[in-house]
Structure 1
Amino acid sequence: MSGVSQKISRQQAVLLGAVPMAALAIAYLVAAAMRHAANPADRLLPLPGAMASALWALAAQPDPLTGNYLFWADTLASLQRLGLGMGIATVTALLIGLALGALPLARAALGPLVVGVAVIPPIALLPILFIVLGLGETAKVALIVIGVAPVMIRDLAGHVAGLPPEQIIKAQTLGASSWQVILRVALPQAMPRLIQAARLSLGPAFVFLITAEAIAADVGLGYRIFLVRRYLSMDIIIPYVAWIALLAIAMDMALVAGGRRLFPWAGRP
């Protein structure tokens, strides 16, 4: 059986997923080897050994000025900002999304505001956030929240508003109040959707995080990338970008695993 009805086992999926990644790695190694054969001092495509040495210096050797292990300090700072921003955005999306989706009055009052905020490019608000909130952590976290929360709210509200009306009518027939309908009917079905919305928001959240760190920070993955770019330190930039990708993949996998464990009835995400 082939085509749209073909079944792929987990082992086959892992193998098929690894093929393009391996091909990309081989293509990079070939290109890097060719450039270094022509110019041993080439810095555009560093060889794996150079990247490993540069990363080792940041991850395993303390900084002479601060005494910190810069790679881990950058990772911890970025994860704290990202975790706080995504946490606030997720809770906000759940509360407001449920209200907008389940209550017509709330949808009429707040719906246009949410749409208006959602269509504003968050990066355009960054100077305002820095002016109003300063250059500290608050502005960086606020950018992540403003960047992802409105989209998550719209997605969750649309999902709740699209629930079969028969479910609501049956609950009301059994004597459920509006809040009971929200808590017992809408909330359980909104939670799997919220996890999917959080998964889709991870990429934009990293974009806003790196942007804020590049402009105003003294530690963080984005700060380090934009600090060393002036020296053409691709042996640091490429490992940092790869590390960000690995962190995002790990977070996505954690959300998938959590969704399957908490809401097995919702199907595979």
Structure 2
Amino acid sequence: MKRAINYVPSRPSAILLALLPFALVLVIYAIGSEVRLADNPSDKLMPSFGTFADAIDRLAFQENRRTGEYVFWTDTAISLQRIFVGLAISTVLCIVVGIPVGFLPYLRSAFGAFISAFSLIPPLAVLPILFIIFGLGETSKIVLIVFGVAPFLARDVALTVAQIPREQIVKAQTLGASTWQMMTLVVFPQVLPRLFDSLRLSLGATWLFLIAAEAIASEGGLGYRIFLVRRYLSMDVILPYVAWITLLAFLMDYGLVLASRASSRWYHIGRGA
């Protein structure tokens, strides 16, 4: 008797199955929008797809009369710059801190519990403090991303380092490797694929921190625009922006997958990928 677990879809079937939930959401929305607009043509809660197209055309392909900018692309560039800078700093910090803490017993004893506790502080709870210390400019927004992401990444890297088989470390010492050589040539390559996975898992939180900071104090960005137009119930702008943020996060996630496969082929081959 062949069980369900043994049925594997072909690649075209897998693509169609992946697209099916998205198509269903669009169909359900289209039906709901048509029903609401038939009852109330001025309804703003569920605009038609034509209204979405008009809003996107206005924001993305027409210059703003006051600033001369294409608002949609300007907001995207501002938010992506903040995201990339925050993630880059977080990645460097987690490597510089996480690997030594996970590898060296004295550092693990001294800072392991501190990093664990630090990673549990709700970043949004300290957002007012960051605004007081760093002001309302770019620095506070980037610091919020780093504060929210770097401790989580460092803790995960430290735990991954601690799980490396002791036999590998003993063999490296037998061959005369120094502490630095063991961290860079033995530990780091094994931590790298896990680091990519952790970055992927932190993308949702990263966007949350960014949008929260932009909503409270900013003069541009995707989150700023969403909270700016909410007072007018402009769902024709809010929903496309939400969809665009989701697409950007998906592309970033896919980019991390490609980077992981390129840098750690052995890891993905071992998992059958």
TM (normalized to structure 2)?
Answer: 0.96
Distance 2:116 2:263 in 1: 30
The CA deviation string for residues 43-66 of structure 1, in whole angstroms up to 9 with x for no partner, is 000100001101110111111111
Give 1:21 deviation, angstroms: 0.9
Map 1:112-131; keep pairs closer than 5 Å. Answer: 112-131=113-132
Matching residue of 1:61: 62
Matching residue of 1:219: 220
Q: 1:33 to 1:247 in 2, by over 3 A?
A: same
Distance 2:182 2:167 in 1: 12
Matching residue of 2:233: 232
Residues 1:164 and 2:165 are matched in the alignment: yes
Equivalent residue pairs, number: 269
Secondary structure of 1:144's aligned partner: helix
Secondary structure of 1:219's aligned partner: coil
Distance 1:117 1:230 in 2: 36
Matching residue of 1:260: 261
Read off the aligned partner of 2:194 and give its amino acid letter: R
Map 1:1-269; keep pairs closer than 5 Å. Answer: 1-267=2-268
The CA deviation string for residues 103-128 of structure 1, in whole angstroms up to 9 with x for no partner, is 11111111122112111100001000
Distance 1:262 1:99 in 2: 21
The CA deviation string for residues 207-226 of structure 1, in whole angstroms up to 9 with x for no partner, is 00000000000100000000
Distance 2:3 2:222 in 1: 44
Q: 1:11 to 1:138 in 2, by over 3 A?
A: same
Distance 2:148 2:160 in 1: 20
Distance 1:8 1:152 in 2: 35
Give 1:95 deviation, angstroms: 1.4
Secondary structure of 2:68's aligned partner: coil
Gaps (5+ residues) in structure 2?
none
Give 1:100 deviation, angstroms: 1.4
The CA deviation string for residues 84-106 of structure 1, in whole angstroms up to 9 with x for no partner, is 00110111111111111111111
Cα RMSD for the two superposed structures: 1.2
The CA deviation string for residues 119-160 of structure 1, in whole angstroms up to 9 with x for no partner, is 110000100000000000000000000101111111111111
Q: Give every structure 1 segment of 4 or more consecutive aligned residues whose post-TM-superposition deviation is greater than 6 Å.
A: none
Distance 1:175 1:241 in 2: 54
Read off the aligned partner of 2:110 and give its amino acid letter: A
Read off the aligned partner of 1:199 and give its amino acid letter: R
Distance 2:171 2:43 in 1: 70
Distance 2:10 2:105 in 1: 44
Give 1:3 deviation, angstroms: 3.7
Read off the aligned partner of 1:134 and give its amino acid letter: G
Gaps (5+ residues) in structure 1?
none
The CA deviation string for residues 231-268 of structure 1, in whole angstroms up to 9 with x for no partner, is 00000000000000000000111111111122111115
Distance 1:100 1:83 in 2: 25
Distance 2:6 2:180 in 1: 42
Distance 1:196 1:18 in 2: 24
Q: 1:248 to 1:39 in 2, by over 3 A?
A: same
Read off the aligned partner of 1:172 and give its amino acid letter: Q
Read off the aligned partner of 1:119 and give its amino acid letter: L
Read off the aligned partner of 2:212 and give its amino acid letter: T
Secondary structure of 1:34's aligned partner: helix
